[in-house]
Amino acid sequence: QIKGIRIRIHPTFIGLLILCALAGLLTRALLVFGLVILHELVHVLAARSFGVKVRSIELYPYGGTAVLEDSFEGRKMEESIIAFAGPAFNFSLFLFFQYLRWEGIIQGTWTLELVKINFWLACFNMIPVLPLDGGRIARAFFAGTFGFVKTTKFLAGAGKVLGGIFIMIGFFLQAYEFVMLEPPVFIVLGVFFWLGSSKEMQNARIVFLKQLCRKKERLLHQGLMQSVC
């Protein structure tokens, strides 16, 4: 735990770290682990700036998820800023370390890894599908028009499709021995998308029920609905 926030590591994230270590990419594995934690802590800071408490941080191969105590349906600005904070942080690090490399201030293989991983985390997370940050931003802007649950189902379904594509690419690369492109990483990411998208669909139903309860409480408070004993 970090200041009362529980850190949960998803099995797919551990799988990715193991794959990197077995492939002799221990430096990359450690960099990914550290940058993903920083990515999520930025989400936490953004959430706390809006007075939102964070229950836990779940780490995944693409980044992670900050589990908040409340949902953000109908609050597009807050959800967008919190979701965008992580990729923006990684892109800022990408520009910073790339500038230092161009100026010759830092050199070495590890600096190139820092640049590549930050760029990958920033761009990959902005793909507009759930459970990525880009999907959360898209949901924030379209939920008001199409409904929170419907928008979540569509974006989560798109995430499953992307996951299936990643799995097929991974097996294709493995079959034709394109080992330099690291086929197992594609397969792990594809499995994650399937699991993460399913979880987003389940959470959407829970959020919908909470939304109905809050609307009922407001109507009761305003005297526009009679309570049934």
| Predicted local distance difference test score (pLDDT) of residue 74 | 55
Any catalytic annotation for residue 217? no
Average pLDDT, the chain: 78
- pTM of the entire predicted model: 0.78
Interval 181-194 mean pLDDT: 76
Q: What is the mean pLDDT of residues 42-61?
A: 79
Cα distances from 227 to residues 122, 170, 212, 215, 224, in angstroms, run 49, 56, 15, 13, 10
Least confident stretch, 15-19, 109-113, 215-219: 215-219
Distances (CA, A) of 190 to 49, 126, 220: 33, 16, 46
Does position 228 have pLDDT exceeding 50, yes or no? no
- pLDDT recorded at residue 78: 83
Residue 94 has pLDDT above 90, yes or no: yes
Separation of alpha carbons 94 and 129, rounded Å? 23
68: helix, coil or strand? strand
Name the least confident of 44-48, 84-88, 89-93, 98-102.
44-48
Alpha carbon dihedral 215, 220, 224, 227, in 10-degree steps, equals 120
Residues 87/126, Cβ–Cβ less than 8 Å: yes
Indicate if the pLDDT at residue 217 is higher than 80: no
Give whichever of 70-84, 124-138, 208-222 has the largest mean pLDDT. 124-138
Lowest mean pLDDT among 55-59, 103-107, 213-217: 213-217
Distance separating the N- and C-terminal Cα atoms of the chain: 43
Residues in Cβ contact with 35 at an 8 Å cutoff, skipping those fewer than 6 apart? 90, 93, 117, 118, 121
* Residue 118 pLDDT > 80: yes
CA–CA distance, 27 with 30 (Å, rounded to integer): 5
Signed CA dihedral, 206, 212, 218, 223: sign only: negative
Which residue's entry shows tokens 């997370």?
125
> Does an H or E element contain 189, and which?
helix 183-221
Query: Does position 175 have pLDDT exceeding 50, yes or no?
Result: yes
pLDDT reading at 71 higher than 60: no
